[in-house]
Amino acid sequence: MYQHRYTCGSECHLPTGKIVCVGRNYAAHAAELDNPIPEEPLLFIKPATAAVAMAEPIHLPAGRGSCHFEGELALLVGQKLSGANPVEVPGAIAGLGLALDLTLRELQSQLKADGHPWEKAKAFDGACPLSPFVKLDWLPDWDALTFTLWLNDQIRQRGKTAHMLTPILDLVAYTSSYFTLEPGDIVLTGTPAGVGELLHGDRLVLQLEDDWLRVETSVA
Q: Does 200 reside within a domain?
A: yes
User: Above 80 in pLDDT, residue 105?
Assistant: yes
Q: Does 4 reside within a domain?
A: no
- The residue segments making up the domain with residue 189 are 19-218
Residues 6+ apart with CB under 8 A from 118: 44, 108, 111, 112
Q: Work out the number of other CB atoms within 10 angstroms of the CB of residue 155.
A: 11
pLDDT-derived band at 8, boundaries 50, 70, 90: confident
pLDDT-derived band at 14, boundaries 50, 70, 90: very high
Q: Which helix (H) or strand (E) holds 130?
A: strand 128-130
Q: Does 9 reside within a domain?
A: no
DSSP secondary structure code for residue 7 in this structure: T
For position 93, what pLDDT does the model report?
Answer: 98
Whole-structure pTM value: 0.96
User: Above 90 in pLDDT, residue 146?
Assistant: yes
Q: Does 177 reside within a domain?
A: yes
Among 58, 47, 57, smallest CA distance to 184 is for 47
CATH of the domain at 116: 3.90.850.10
What pLDDT digit, counting tens, does each position of 30-59 carry?
778 788 888 899 999 999 999 999 999 999
Widest distance between CA atoms in the chain: 46
What pLDDT digit, counting tens, does each position of 56-95 carry?
999 999 999 999 999 999 999 999 999 999 999 999 999 9
Q: Looking at the 3D structure of the chain, how many domains does it have?
A: 1
With contact defined as beta carbons under 8 Å apart, do 77 and 93 qualify? yes
